[in-house]
Every structure is written in structure tokens, then in C-alpha cells.
Amino acid sequence: MAVFHATILFYNPFLVSLLLLVLFLPNLHMIAGLSLSLSLSLSLSLSHLVSFGSSSDGGREDAQVGVCYGGLGNNLPSDQEVVNLYKSNGIRRMRSYYPVPQALQALRGSNIELILDVPNSYLEGLANDASAAAKWVQDNILNYYPDIKFRIISVGNEVNPNGGETARLAPFVLLAMSKIYDAIASAGLKDQIKVSTSTYPVLVSNSFPPSKGSFDGASGSFMGPIINFLKNTNNPLLFNIYPYFSHIGDPQNVPLPYALFTATGGFPQDGQFQYRNLFDAMLDNAYSAIEKAGGPNVEIVVSESGWPSAGGPAASVENAGTYYRNLINHVERGSGSPKRPGKAIETYLFAMFDENQKIGDESRQKINYFEKHVAHSNAGGAQVGVCNRQLGNNLPSSHEVVQLYKSNGIQRMRMYAPNPQALQALMGSGIELVLDVPNRDLQRLAIDAPAATKWVRDNVLNYYLDIKFRIIAVGNEVNTHRGQPTYHLAPFVLLAMSKIYDAIAPAGLKDEINVLCIKVIHETDHQLSKEHQQPVVLVNIYPYSAHINNPHHVPLPYAMFTTPGVVVRDGPFHYKKPFDAMLDDTYSALEKAGGPKVEIVVSESGWPSAGSPAASVENAGTYYRNLINHVKGGSPKTLERAIETYLFAMFNEN
């Protein structure tokens, strides 16, 4: 069996935007099950789902996408859990707004590259006291170096000399930068750790056309010396860019598609440069201001960018997902902006979590990339779960995995074998569980009722009600075709199902926990399901396998949900995607086997990101994104009935 790597790239390489905003489904009643058997094993990995840049790709290292970690909330995970979340998802760069000892301790040895802020509240004290700056560097940098990969120290954030509560801090920014730089240089680290400050478009005059950008008046007096310092010390300028606020400030002249990277025409021209999206226009507007301030070679790091999912005009999960997906595609391509073509744009997405204690309107609290767009999908009633198989020696602990599900709102899990540590970690988590009886146990449980009773007691009753068991899947992809590795297990599946069911029923849980199997369809296995009011079967569906086995009849766009028209007509039913065709093919088989009311749960579906034809990050991202959007509704046979689906799988398995 070939093993491939899959990604859950809902939104592209890092992408993603796995918008898994989960909703509840009513509990299913007692069910029996079976599955399509496909000779394919995939791993849908959140580390690829988030696929943040590739260090093996030369210049693309500079396009590494990071995520900001703001801690203005009273409902956030611990610092160690946050670091584990970054590591588990392959997020290799972080911006942290506060030097918190617990967070710095958690970052030791993580290999996460860090932008660490000097908070605005420290500026005046550090500007006037070199020893205080040296102590700050000692306490927050040198005490952790080289165990933490410090990348940039941002001295102050969005200080505005033109007015407001930060205006009084303007005289202290450059002085504090200089003293922090001197302390870093004294430690011999000025080439390893950059020193800068974070600013924003409010300070730039003449926002359009981009070439007219400049720092004027008080902004010029403030930024000019800072640009000169950055030029002389070979440091970048950090710049926060939010096309969202430009759009809502002037929606007539800054249309939504232009802000979301989705405009198809009417692009503004500025001399030799054409601007196809607002992000590039804002970035080059800042570059124009820097050039006029005497820093033609000063680079920009986009230290924040995001889009709110709620709380303001044009603030929605859909628009936020579109923005993050397209932004990441744009900066990861390494094509740069019109003024700086071919210059990778290092970018940090804001932010890891919603911050319910952040000052400002709701839209400012709801700008967050990871929580809304890595692991949530508004599946419209079709709860999307993620499979958790643990065939690897480089995986997080069971507790870390559960925290990863919880932190990302993934409320359903499929686990392929009962593991005491994993079950212990799931207690009290609220995660609904599909738990497998592994194929290796089928024969023993089929012929030994006490063994089945003990299996249920050890792996289910000992944890109920602390774990929300949803389904017990008795066997996986047992194949009735002679010569297949699991052929010899076929006679034991229904017997094992029956004995597991008999052990569940006396505990009064037969209506709470479903018992079923996942295997190749054959008629005799429908006996148990027909005894119950709402029978359901599990089916593993992989359009990828159908495509590579017959690319002529199953073309790639058809397999990835991107074909524009009907590909297959079957009586009154029209099929635009093989996922539906494969699902309805199984429904037809169930009807002929005497189960016309049997419903299907898609217990696995995925697409590989490497290792075979048509296996790529881009194709995997397209498939997962379109699959999650699609399961909100039904197939031609089931019409608008949502399709409960489990994505395969949480991690790559080495």
C-alpha cells in the first residue's frame, strides 16, 4: 500500500484556512457499517495545512509566514500549549507582544523564530536609561539565547506622533531603539538579532497613488531619523498592513474584491506599475515614503496583516478566509510587489487567537487567522471531524493532541485504536469520539463474548460519561476479495459487531453509542443495521484514488470539485464531482442490499500533498477547501442533507 502525505490546506500552503467552524449534529442512533476499500493511506497534516514556507527553497525562506501571538484574553491556552500549537502546525515564526517569562521558557528549544516587542509602556524608561535597556536585553534576550531564535526586537508598536494616547511616546522611540541596539551589539549579536519598530499606514501621507507616499509634518520628523538609523544599522522597518480598514474607510474607491485579492479588472496604474491588489499598493506606498525619507534600501517586514471575521462591515468568516488564503498565496510565491519584484515579503498574520480583552470594537477583537481559519469550518450542520492516527515516532503527546483539537474548535475525532493515555487525555474535553476496534482484534472478539465485554469495559465504560463516545467502528476496510490482506477477517466482522453491541446494550448505552464497521460492501453485513430506526454506515471516500487510476475518465478538475459543468448524467441525477458520484454509488449499493434508509458518514477523505501523480500542496488545498464547503449540503441522491465527514488525518505519519 502506497503511503502519501496529505494536507488540510483549506487555503493554500500555509494556508490555510481550514474554516472548520463546527456545529452540532444530533446523536445518531444505533448503526451498523461498512466502507469503500481503497488501497490508499493518506495523512492530512495540520503542519502542512498550515505549511508555512519551506526552508529548503532558498529565497522562499524569506517569505516564511508567521503568526502573531497576542495575549489580550482571559480564555486562552497556556503559553506551553500555545508553543505546542505552533510546533504541531509547523508555524515556525511568531511575533510576541510582551516578554513574558513563562512564554519565553516555553519557546526554549522550539526552533520558532521570534519577533519580540518592547511594549510601548517601556519606551520612556529605556530611552532615558542605558542600564535599564541593558537589563531588559539581559533579562529577555541573553538569558534565553541561543535556546530561542530571536529574529527581531520591535521597540514600540504603532506610536503616532500626530496625536492620540501614543503621541507623547514619539520622542522616546528612536532613543530606546538605539539603546536596545547598543546592548545587542555589545553582546556580539547585532548581525543575528535585528532591532526595529512597528509602524502603520496612518503615518504615511498621500495613500494614492502608491508612488506619492511620504512621511510629512510630525510623521516626517518622527520617521526620518528612524529610517536613517535603520539604514545605517542594516535593519528592516516593521509595517502593519490592514487592507480591511482601507476598504471600510472608503468602500466606493476601495472595493471589496480589490482588498481581498479577487478583483479581475480595473487595476490602477501608477506610472510603470500596475496594482492588482490593495496589499501591494499599501506596501509600495510605504516603500515610497521610506525612499523619500532617505532609506531606498531599507526593507519592510509586514509585521501584522489580517481580516476580521465579525464585528464590522465586510467582516465575515468567508471574507476573512478569502483574504488569508490569497494573502498567503501572494507572499509565498516570492514575486514581491511592483516596486520590489522578486523580493519575498516576510509577513505575520494577525493573530493566533481572538482576544476578548482587546480594547476597541468587536472587529478588532475578531481579527485572527489561526483559530478561525486553520481548524474551523462552517459546515452548515455537517460537523467536520479530523482523524487522529498515531503511526509515527515524531508526534505530539496525547494531551497535546487533545489540546490541539480543543484550541482549534475541532469537536470530533476518529481514533484508530484504543490507547489509555489518549483516552485519559480526552476525558472532559467535550470531543465526540469515533473509536475503532482494530482489525487485529476482530477474530478474538468474534468468538469470545467475555473478551468483547472486557474490551467494552476497558475502553468505553471506564471512561463514559467523561468521554463523548459517538461510534465504535468494528474493523476498518476489511476486504471480501480473495487475495487481499484482510480477506481472512471478513467472516468475523459481523460476529464481532454483534458481541460489541451485546456488551454495550446491557449498560443502557445502545442508543447513545453506535456500533458499526468500516469495510467493503456485501449484503450479509446489513442485518444489524436494518434492526434499527436510523441505520448509518461509515464509508471512506478518496476521489484522488479514482483520478490516478483512471485520469482520462476521472479528470483532475472533476476530482477536485473545480469542473464548471456536469460531467456525468445518471437518469435524473447530474454529477459535477466524483465525491458525490462515489457517495451515491454506495447509496445505490445499500438500497440494493435492502437498506434504502441507511445514511452514510464519510469516515475518511483526503488528498496527498506529495509522493505520486497529482499529489501537491496546491491540489490538496483545493480539494480540502472545496470538500469542506461542499459537505454543507448533500449529494444528488440526498439533496440538501448535510454529509458528516472526517478529514484524514491530523498528522503525517513517518
**DSSP-assigned letters across all residues of 413-441:** EEESS--HHHHHHHTTS--EEEEEE-GGG
Choose one of 303, 333, 364: the last residue of a domain.
364
Q: In total, how many domains does the chain have?
A: 2
Give the cell for residue 520: 467493503
Q: What are the start-end ranges of the H helices in 339-457?
A: 362-365, 370-373, 398-407, 420-426, 442-447, 449-456
Confidence band, pLDDT 50/70/90 cuts, at residue 594 = confident
Q: Flag whether pLDDT at 336 surpasses 70.
A: yes
Distance from C-alpha of 312 to C-alpha of 306, rounded to nearest angstrom: 14
394 or 563, which is more confident: 563
If you ran DSSP here, which 8-state letter would residue 341 be given?
B
Distance from C-alpha of 593 to C-alpha of 523, rounded to nearest angstrom: 5
User: Is the domain of 443 the same as that of 314?
Assistant: no
Give the cell for residue 579: 465525491
- Has residue 8 been placed in a domain? no
Confidence band, pLDDT 50/70/90 cuts, at residue 378 = very low
Strands 536-540 and 568-570 turn out to be unpaired
Q: Flag whether pLDDT at 536 surpasses 90.
A: no
User: Is the domain of 294 the same as that of 396?
Assistant: no
pLDDT value at residue 78:
81
CB contact at 8 A, 80 and 109: no
pTM score: 0.57
Q: Flag whether pLDDT at 15 surpasses 80.
A: no
pLDDT value at residue 514:
64
Confidence band, pLDDT 50/70/90 cuts, at residue 372 = very low
Give the cell for residue 589: 449499493
pLDDT value at residue 366:
36
Q: Which residues pair with 114 in a beta bridge?
A: 94, 150
If you ran DSSP here, which 8-state letter would residue 90 be given?
T
The mean pLDDT value of the chain amounts to 80
Single-letter code of the amino acid located at 99: P
SS3 19: strand
User: Is the domain of 148 the same as that of 212?
Assistant: yes
SS3 404: helix
Q: Flag whether pLDDT at 640 surpasses 80.
A: no
User: Is the domain of 404 the same as that of 549?
Assistant: yes
- Has residue 31 been placed in a domain? no
Single-letter code of the amino acid located at 185: A
pLDDT value at residue 74:
57
Give the cell for residue 86: 505552533
Distance from C-alpha of 602 to C-alpha of 647, rounded to nearest angstrom: 9
108, 98, 110: which is closest to 68 by C-alpha? 98
* C-alpha atoms less than 13 angstroms from C-alpha of 262 in its C-beta half-sphere: 12
Give the cell for residue 645: 465527514
User: Is the domain of 311 the same as that of 423?
Assistant: no
Distance of CA 423 to the CA centre of its chain: 24
- In three state form, how does the secondary structure of 27-71 look? CCCCCCCCCCCCCCECCEEHHHHCCCCCCCCHHHHHHCEEEEECC
User: Is the domain of 388 the same as that of 358?
Assistant: no
User: Is the domain of 425 the same as that of 573?
Assistant: yes
- Has residue 627 been placed in a domain? yes
- Has residue 377 been placed in a domain? no
Of residues 113, 124, 158, 291, which has the active-site annotation?
158
Q: For residue 65, count other CB atoms closer than 10 A to its CB.
A: 28
Distance from C-alpha of 543 to C-alpha of 604, rounded to nearest angstrom: 11
Q: Flag whether pLDDT at 59 surpasses 70.
A: no
For residue 300, what are the contacts with CB-CB under 8 A and spacing of at least 6?
236, 237, 238, 239, 283, 286, 287, 290, 345
CATH number for the domain including 220? 3.20.20.80
Q: Which residues pair with 93 in a beta bridge?
A: 113
- Has residue 500 been placed in a domain? yes
Cα-based distances in Å from 181 to 107, 240, 375, 411, 481: 23, 22, 39, 46, 70
User: Is the domain of 331 the same as that of 478?
Assistant: no
If you ran DSSP here, which 8-state letter would residue 384 be given?
E
Cα-based distances in Å from 128 to 178, 195, 388, 421, 515: 11, 18, 54, 54, 70
Strands 468-478 and 514-519 turn out to be parallel
Choose one of 364, 396, 417: the last residue of a domain.
364
Q: Flag whether pLDDT at 467 surpasses 60.
A: yes
Range of the domain at 257: 65-364
User: Is the domain of 351 the same as that of 431?
Assistant: no
SS3 505: helix
Single-letter code of the amino acid located at 167: A
User: Is the domain of 289 the same as that of 178?
Assistant: yes
- Has residue 58 been placed in a domain? no
Confidence band, pLDDT 50/70/90 cuts, at residue 562 = confident
- Has residue 40 been placed in a domain? no
SS3 67: strand
Active site residue 158: yes
Of residues 299, 304, 355, 604, which has the active-site annotation?
304
- Has residue 105 been placed in a domain? yes
Cα-based distances in Å from 182 to 177, 188, 189, 572, 628: 9, 10, 10, 76, 51
Active site residue 304: yes
User: Is the domain of 290 the same as that of 412?
Assistant: no
Q: Give yes or no for a cis peptide into 13 (omega within 30° of 0).
A: no
User: Is the domain of 409 the same as that of 473?
Assistant: yes
- Backbone φ and ψ of 128, nearest 5°: -100, 5
Distance from C-alpha of 309 to C-alpha of 314, rounded to nearest angstrom: 9
